[in-house]
Amino acid sequence: MSTVGWLPAPAEELFGTDATAEESYEVLTVDVPPASWLTALEVARDRLSCTFFDWLSAVDEPGTGFRVSAHVVSLSPLRRLLVRTTVPHDAPTLPSAVAVYAGAAWHERETHEMFGVTFEGHPALDHLLLPETFEGHPLRKDFVLAARVAKAWPGAKEPGESDHGTPKRRQMLPPGVPDPNEWGPLKGQLPPAPSRPARGGGRGAAGGPARAGTGAGTGAGTGAGTGERPARRTRSAGEGAVSQGAGAAGSSGERAAAPRRTRSAAEGSAGSSGEGAAAPRR
């Protein structure tokens, strides 16, 4: 056994033989069985000086149970501790931590309302955020949205498809929307989703309709048998201008004219006066 993080002793000595500890992102996490839940919180408060209660909540882990976590803090020196335990889905029951941390009363009410975890010994596990007539626990993974029972998810079918029969292709569910064949009242009753057909390399080779003018009358070997166009070579703007200029000169057969020589203003005036001036009169 070895100590983890800032624990003064191994986790097995502090929290019990079944306790495990790990440290990640400057948060020390200790996992204990449900029977050691209250004992672990008392050790955190009394022996580790974690007197500040931060929050308590749960996570629904499919196939495992409800993972209940309590985050407590030691203010001097500043250290954080996350105490966790897991209760099964068929019996989500834990002793209330109100006697250890009075601030846990509000958080246990919320966890009971959202996940259905019962905290024995809590003074009043009443509704906190939901109306009194609300049925079920909305943060459970098996909770079925009432809106989807009355009306299917709009993206289940393509626009124009019939409401009867399976969709033409498998639709991508948005984040947070479970597969109706895995969760909800129709679990295991729906037919398997159709698989997307494999794409062929060339339609002309498979016997499908070929593109007009492709591989016919061109005499080119590449792409004639497969019906595929050869890849086009990319050229830069400079290469394109040079090739277009060379092609235009070669097709016309005419030689490009030599560039004109530029003259300055003085040269032009001298040439004009020397060539075009008339002989002086006698």
What are the extents of the domains in the chain?
A: 11-120, 144-183
With CA atoms as reference, report the closest residue to 106 among 126, 77, 86.
126
Predicted local distance difference test score (pLDDT) of residue 223? 45
Beta pairing class for 78-87 and 65-75: antiparallel
Q: How confident is the model at residue 187 (pLDDT cuts 50, 70, 90)?
A: confident
pTM of the model: 0.56
Q: CA-to-CA distance for 118 and 210, rounded, in angstroms?
A: 68
- Higher-pLDDT residue of 50, 280: 50
Adjacent-strand bridge partners of 80: 73
pLDDT at 105: 97
Residue 252 phi, psi (nearest 5): -80, -25
Q: Are 99 and 82 in contact (CB under 8 A)?
A: no
Residue 264's pLDDT band, with cuts at 50, 70 and 90, is low
DSSP 8-state secondary structure symbol assigned to residue 35: G
The better pLDDT of the pair 32, 200 is held by 32
Tokens 């009432």 -> residue: 146
Question: In this model, does residue 143 exceed pLDDT 80?
Answer: yes
Q: Name the CATH superfamily for 11-120.
A: NADH:ubiquinone oxidoreductase Nqo5 subunit (3.30.460.80)
Question: Following CA atoms 112, 118, 122, 123 in sequence, which dihedral angle do they give, to the nearest 10 degrees?
Answer: 70
Q: Which of 64-73, 117-126, 198-207, 213-222 has the lowest mean pLDDT?
A: 213-222
The answer to whether the beta carbons of residues 73 and 97 sit under 8 Å apart is no
Lowest mean pLDDT among 22-31, 84-93, 188-197: 188-197
pLDDT value for 23: 94
d(CA 97, CA 106): 11
Q: Is the confidence at residue 103, as pLDDT, over 90?
A: yes
Confidence grade of residue 224 (pLDDT, cut at 50, 70, 90): very low
Q: Strands of 52-61's sheet, edge to edge? A: 20-24, 27-31, 78-87, 65-75, 52-61
pLDDT classification of 165: cutoffs 50, 70, 90: low
Whether the CB-CB separation of 20 and 31 falls below 8 Å is answered with yes
